[in-house]
Structure 1
Amino acid sequence: MRDCPMLASDSNFMKRLSLLNCQQSEMDENLLKLEMDLQLPKLKMHEHVPKLEMDEPLPKLELDEHLLKVEFDEHLPKLPHFKKSTSMYLVLLDLSNCQQLKRIPDFDEVPNLIKLILEDCQKLSQIHSTLGRLKHLVSLNFKGCVSLQRLSHSMGLKSLQTFILSGCSNLKLFAEIREDMDNVSQLHLDGTAIMNLPISMQHLKDLTLLNLRGCKNLLTVPHVLCSITSLKFLYLSGCSQIDQLPANLGCLVNLIGLDASDTSISEIPQSIGFLKKLKVLYLYGCGLVEEATPCDFGNLSSLQRLDLSENNFVTIPESIFQLSKLRELCLLRCQKLQS
């Protein structure tokens, strides 16, 4: 505390704080972690499920009470062809770690898929255009598909809720989003090579979480993104080429958590004061100075956690003392901070 006497002099502010970090420990990196488990709806199966028939044998097959689930061996070179008489029952297809899988054939053979997992299929580079016709698909996971460079030009998965492309490090183009794809609540593009987000992002009317962490090629955050008023969590940390946040950031009236750490932003938009529900704000490693913090910053009436570490503050911005619910303030490695 002796290293921050300016704070100590404001007794009312200090009584509100439960944690002031000026020196050693790191802020918990998982404060904004959102549980990703998907609860699949129970499906009513016919009393007598026909024997599963395929042109090629499956390495592993599981049938539980509510859904037909198929898992494949990691050395599988291609996807077996399902008989039409039984493929209609397949709702969960897990192809995780199929290291030799390079392309996926026609999805019309499995029209009732609800969950498709292609995690860590490192040679997968081609996705059949019929993927966009899976009208019942709720969860789609391409995490770690490092050979994937593009998706279908246009996607209209109207039931999709969770879309994961984390770690697809060669993915440069994100698909255009059709108007009927408005049920997506979570979109993970972290660690991809995308440079721009499509204007059609505005069709994601129910989006609550957008993860863009580590998108080092991403140039801007489009203003149209702030028209998605359902958004609650926005992760931009490590997007090193982003030098400003949208001027209309304050339109995200339901935003709870914002992480813009390790970006190149030089100032915080005035409209941030309209984020009345914002509870967690991370801005460490941006090189900010006092003038970058607007007067309206003090209007963040719900803010509880604030990380301003590794910035160039000489004094703590006055507006911070107006944050009535602030409980945790982190000022690690603010080398220029004076008493």
Structure 2
Amino acid sequence: MRRTIVYDEHKEPENRSRLWDPKDICHVLERHTGTAMVEGISLNMCRMNRDVKVHLAAISKMYNLRIFKIFVCRNMDENKWYICDCKDKNKFKLYLPQGLDSYLSGKLNYFQWDLYPLKSLPSHVSFDNLVELILRGSRLKKLWNHEVQAHIYQTFLMNLTELHLDWTAIDEVPPSIWHLSSLVRLDLKYCFRLESLSSSICKLISLEYLTLRGCVKLYKFPETLEPMEHLKYIELGHSLIQELPESIENLVSLIRLCIYSCKNIEFLPNSLCNLRKLEYIDIQRCSNLKKLPPLPNASFSLLLVHNERLKSLSELPSLCFCLSAMYCPSLENISNWKAPLLHHLNSNHIGGQTDLHGCENLDQNTRNIVLAGRGIFQILSGLKFGSMD
């Protein structure tokens, strides 16, 4: 039976089960004093008061280590991570003058190292029990060196559910990632060198969240050659995506699609209407967007703010309770759209709104529809609040 280790603040730092005081952790990393008692390390680098040179074998004695967390956080109460402030301006740093050859614990569940200074992970790392891997703002170009690649393909991270590689230097997603059958969240935002994404993404059978915001060299979203049963959320904002493929209809569980500030997009695929669960669409500030295809019937929120070239909207769903198309000066009409039907309304949709402020060229028919819709919501809101009394 495994003995439970209780944290004791009076013990020497290397004999505590969890370390979170920066002085204690720096002492352990510099002087190679960690022991089997240590099960967790959590170091906020913003609280360091000096540079630290990590000992070559600093972690090798901590073979019961389950949580290894080195992070950048300015605001401990809100747990906010400010990459723009911290990546180049963090006052004190951890240095690995000889690399990191320590043997990390095979019991490791959580590994986070913001601003990780090396170009790949150490060779001697056991990932069998790892659930989350976070390497935000690192100098990483590949996950592993060539020598361990073959082994990784067979046994890598089968329990991993979250992989955060945001703000890293990778120019392609390592192929072995497509073997992560348990991966739920893949975060690649602000990977400024990332140029493409493989169609093998459909092999991530458990994937629910995909974030590609700020990937300024990413011009193409991959074909999804097989249905992805669990993918619910895609964010492509501030990328150079030029188009979405017709095969996007294979994202059968997609609920939220965010492609804001994608200035290269002119059209969206007609197959978008086949996404029966798609509820929320954010296409703001896509300055070259000219036309929208028919949207899925489930879509009740559509954001189109600052789309200067958009001329018309057609076949909006009858359940589109939130339509924001402010400052679309070329928009002339919304055809085949009526105010949402009363019998479809429920408490989740009361308070929906249509905002077309700054759309100076709208025809009179569209203006009348908007006014009618606002009246309906005002009446129903009053009835709802009256019933609560």
TM-score normalised to the size of structure 1?
A: 0.70
> Superposition pairs for residues 112-261 of structure 1, below 5 Å?
112-121=159-168, 123-155=169-201, 156-246=203-293, 248-249=294-295, 252-261=296-305
2-structure distance, mates of 1:288, 1:224 = 25
Shift of 1:326: 3.5
Q: Which amino acid aligns with 1:76?
A: L
SS at match of 1:93: strand
Q: CA deviation at 1:188?
A: 0.7
Which structure features the higher share of helix residues? Answer: 2
User: In structure 2, what residue type is equivalent to 1:285?
Assistant: Y
Q: Decide whether the 8 Å contact of 2:266 with 2:291 is kept in 1.
A: no
2:377 alignment counterpart: 326
- Of stretches 178-187 and 136-145 in structure 1, the one that deviates more from structure 2 is 178-187
Paired residue type of 1:294: S
For 2:284 and 2:124, the matched residues in 1 are separated by 43
Q: State the distance in 1 between where 2:336 and 2:246 align.
A: 31
2:102 is aligned with 1:57:
yes
For 2:336 and 2:181, the matched residues in 1 are separated by: 48
Matching residue's letter, 2:289 = I
Could you give the per-residue CA deviations for residues 169-228 of structure 1, whole angstroms, max 9, x where no partner exists? Answer: 111122222324221000111111111112221111110000000111112111101100
For 2:329 and 2:205, how far apart are their aligned partners in 1?
42
The answer on whether the counterparts of 2:185 and 2:208 sit within 8 Å (CA) in structure 1 is yes
Give 2:320's aligned residue: 278
Secondary structure class of the residue paired with 1:126: coil
**Structure 1: tracts of 5 or more residues without a match:** 1-49, 328-339
- Alignment partner of 1:103 is 2:133: no
Taking the TM superposition and a 5 Å limit, the aligned residue runs for 1:14-25 are none
Q: TM-score, length-normalised on structure 2?
A: 0.62
User: Structure 2: how far apart are the matches of 1:119 and 1:145?
Assistant: 6
Q: 1:297 to 1:110 in 2, by over 3 A?
A: same
CA contact (8 A) 1:149 1:171 kept: yes
CA contact (8 A) 1:96 1:120 kept: yes
Q: Look up the match of 1:293.
A: 334
Please name the residue that 1:92 is paired with: 132
Quick one: structure 1 residues 51 and 169, their matched pair in 2 at CA, closer, same or farther if it must change by over 3 Å? same
> Within 1, Cα distance between the matches of 2:288 and 2:222?
22
Provide, for residues 132-171 of structure 1, a one-character-per-residue CA deviation record: whole Å limited to 9, x for no partner.
Answer: 1110000000011111111224322110000111111111
The number of aligned residues is: 263
Determine if contact 2:318/2:337 at 8 Å carries over to the other structure: no
**Cα contact 1:293–1:317 (8 A) shared by 2:** no
Any idea what SS the aligned residue of 2:257 has? strand
Distance 1:293 1:260 in 2: 13
**Bigger CA radius of gyration:** 2
The 2-side partners of 1:293 and 1:139 are apart by 37
* 1:267 matches 2:312: yes
How big is each residue's C-alpha offset from its partner over 1:217-275, in whole Å with a ceiling of 9 and x where there is no partner?
112111101100100100101111111111x22xx111121011222211121x21xx2
1: distance between equivalents of 2:174 and 2:161?
Answer: 17
Contact 1:233–1:257 (Cα < 8 Å) also in 2: yes
Give the match's secondary structure for 1:187.
strand
Q: Tell me the C-alpha RMSD between the 2 structures.
A: 2.8
Percent identical among aligned pairs is: 25
Contact 1:157–1:180 (8 Å) recurs in 2: no
Residue 159 and residue 282 in structure 1: after superposition, are their counterparts in 2 closer, same or farther (change >3 A)? same
- For the Cα contact (< 8 Å) 1:104–1:127, is it kept in 2? no
In structure 2, C-alpha distance between the alignment counterparts of 1:320 and 1:104, rounded to whole Å: 52
Structure 1 position 295, deviation (Å):
6.0
